[in-house]
A and B are shown apart, each in its own frame.
Chain A
Amino acid sequence: MLETARLQCIRGDRVLFSDVSFTLKENELMYLKGINGSGKTSLLRMLCGLVSPAEGEISWCGENVRKLKEEYFRELLYIGHLPGIKAELTPIENLRISCAMSGSLITEDQAWNALDKIGLRGREDLPSKVLSQGQKRRVALARILLTDAKLWILDEPFTALDVDAVAMLQAVLAEHVQRGGMVLLTTHQEFEVATGITHTLVLGKAGGQAC
C-alpha cells in the first residue's frame, strides 16, 4: 500500500503542487492528470525517492520510503521519460541488465521471449542506437513483462508507441492490476484498461485533487 500525506513540491521558488494526499492499494490503478508543467513527472520521481518532497511524507505499507530504501525499490518498477538503455548494447543485453538492476536475474531465453512478445522480433541483436524512438521505448517497457515488482510507476508509457503496442500494454496493465498489483501512470493519450481506472489525481493550480 502506497500512502502519501500532504506532499509539496517546490521547483526554484515556485510551488508546483502542495497538499497532495492519496492512498493506492492493491488492485488499483491511479491515473495522474495535469497540464504541462503541473508537476506530474516531479510527483512520480518523488514517489520513486528520486526527488525529496519539500513537505509531507510518502510511506509504503506504513513505513517511510526514505527509511525503507532498497526494500521499497525492490517492490518498485519505474519507467521514466528517458528509456534508460545504453545505445551501444543490444536490446537483449539492455533488458537483462535492467532486470538485474531491479533485482530479478533473467536468462537469455526469457529476454528473447519478452522482446518477441513486445514486438521486437528480429531486432534483438542490433545495437540499440539503430532502433527507432518507439522501439527503444519497447525495449524499456519489456521489463514490465519480467518484473515481479508490485508497484509500477510509469511516466508517459504510451508515448511513441503504435496502436498495437498500446493495446498490448493496456492488457498487461490490466493483468497486473488483477493479480494484486498497483499502477500509477501519467499520459496525455486516451487509454482504457479492462480493470478500470480506480483513481484519478488531477494536478493543477489548486494543488492535487484526488477522486
Chain B
Amino acid sequence: MLAMIRWVLWRELTVAMRTKSEVLTTLFFFVIVITLFPLGVGPETETLELIGPGILWVAALLASMLSLTRMFSEDYQDGTLEQMLVASQPLVIIVASKIFAHWMVSGLPLVIISPLLSLQLGLDMESTLILMLTLLIGTPILSLIGAVGAGLTLGVRGGGVLLSLLVLPLYIPVLIFGAGAVEAVRAGLEVEAHLSLLGAFLVLAMVLAPWGTAASLRISLD
C-alpha cells in the first residue's frame, strides 16, 4: 500500500513538474488578482490593510478553483482513471494520495508566496504569519472539498462552471474563518478559536472527502 501511495505521488508530481503549466497558472493567477486590487481601489495603505486578508483569501479560493477542473479530467481522457478504478489497492487510498499531490502542486505554492503578497498589501508581520498559517490549514480543505466536486462534474459538458457553482458555496466557512483569523489578530483578539475551527474542518474533510471522491468517480465512470 505504501508503494502504491509513493507511485501515485511520484506520478502526479513528475507530470506536474514536466508540464509546469498547472503550477504556474495557479500561482500567476493568484499573484495577478492580488496585484490588481491596489490598482483598482487605490494605493491607500489603510484601505489595503483593511481589505488585505479578505483579498488574499478570496484570491486563494479562486486560484484553487482554477486548478480543480484539471484534477481528474486528464486522467479521465487518457484512461489512467479507469486503471485506478481497477487497481489492486482501495480507490480511497489512491484518491487521497492524488488529492495530496494536487495540494502540493496548487495549494502549497500559494502558501509559500503569500507572505510576499501580504507585505505588498501592507499587512504587518504578525498578520502575515497568521495568514500563512491559515492558508496552510485552509488550502488542503479546498483541495479536499474540490476533489468531490471535480469527481462529480467529470465528463460533464461545461463542467467547469458547474464545478464552481457546486464547490464555491462549500468554501464559504473556510473563507470566513481563514480571513477572520487574520482580522482577529489585527484587532488584537485571540485567534485560537478560528484556527481550531479550521483544523476541525481539515480533519473532517480529510476523513470524508476521499470517500466522497471515490464514490463520485465511480458514478462518473459508470
Q: How many residues of B contact A (CB 8 A)?
A: 25
Please state if B11 and A78 are interface contacts (CB–CB under 8 Å).
Answer: no
Minimum CB–CB distance from A146 to chain B (whole Å) comes to 14
Could you say which of A31-39, A96-104, A172-180, A183-191 contacts chain B?
Answer: A96-104
Given contacts A82-B77, A83-B78, A101-B84, 13 further A-B contacts (CB under 8 A): A50-B85, A73-B88, A81-B79, A82-B78, A82-B79, A84-B78, A84-B80, A85-B80, A88-B19, A89-B11, A93-B14, A102-B83, A105-B3
* CB contact between A101 and one of B4, B18, B222 (< 8 Å): that residue: B4
The reply to whether the CB of B208 lies closer than 8 angstroms to some CB of chain A is no
Please state if B86 and A78 are interface contacts (CB–CB under 8 Å).
Answer: yes
* CB contact between A103 and one of B11, B78, B89 (< 8 Å): that residue: B89
The reply to whether the CB of A116 lies closer than 8 angstroms to some CB of chain B is no
Bound Cα distance A80, B81 (Å): 11
Bound Cα distance A85, B10 (Å): 14
Bound Cα distance A83, B75 (Å): 11
The reply to whether the CB of B15 lies closer than 8 angstroms to some CB of chain A is yes
0 or 1 for each of B1-36: is its CB under 8 Å from A? (1 = yes):
001100100110011001100000000000000000
Chain B residue nearest to A76 in the complex (CB): B86
Bound Cα distance A101, B4 (Å): 7
The reply to whether the CB of A126 lies closer than 8 angstroms to some CB of chain B is no
Minimum CB–CB distance from A30 to chain B (whole Å) comes to 18
Bound Cα distance A96, B10 (Å): 12
Q: How many residues of A contact B (CB 8 A)?
A: 31
Please state if A86 and B7 are interface contacts (CB–CB under 8 Å).
Answer: no
Please state if B3 and A80 are interface contacts (CB–CB under 8 Å).
Answer: no
Q: Point out residues on A near B: beta carbons under 8 Å.
A: 48-52, 69-70, 73-74, 76, 78, 80-89, 93, 96-98, 100-103, 105, 127
Please state if B222 and A50 are interface contacts (CB–CB under 8 Å).
Answer: yes
Bound Cα distance A140, B14 (Å): 19
0 or 1 for each of B79-105: is its CB under 8 Å from A? (1 = yes):
110111111111000100000000000
Bound Cα distance A82, B77 (Å): 8
Minimum CB–CB distance from A111 to chain B (whole Å) comes to 13
CB-defined contacts of B90 to chain A, threshold 8 Å: 69-70
- Which 8 pairs across A and B sit closest by C-beta, in order of nearness? A82-B79, A103-B88, A84-B79, A88-B18, A100-B7, A74-B88, A84-B83, A101-B87
CB-defined contacts of B4 to chain A, threshold 8 Å: 100-101
Bound Cα distance A74, B88 (Å): 5
Minimum CB–CB distance from A140 to chain B (whole Å) comes to 8
Minimum CB–CB distance from B47 to chain A (whole Å) comes to 44
| Chain B 196-222 interface residues, beta-carbon cutoff 8 Å to A | 221-222
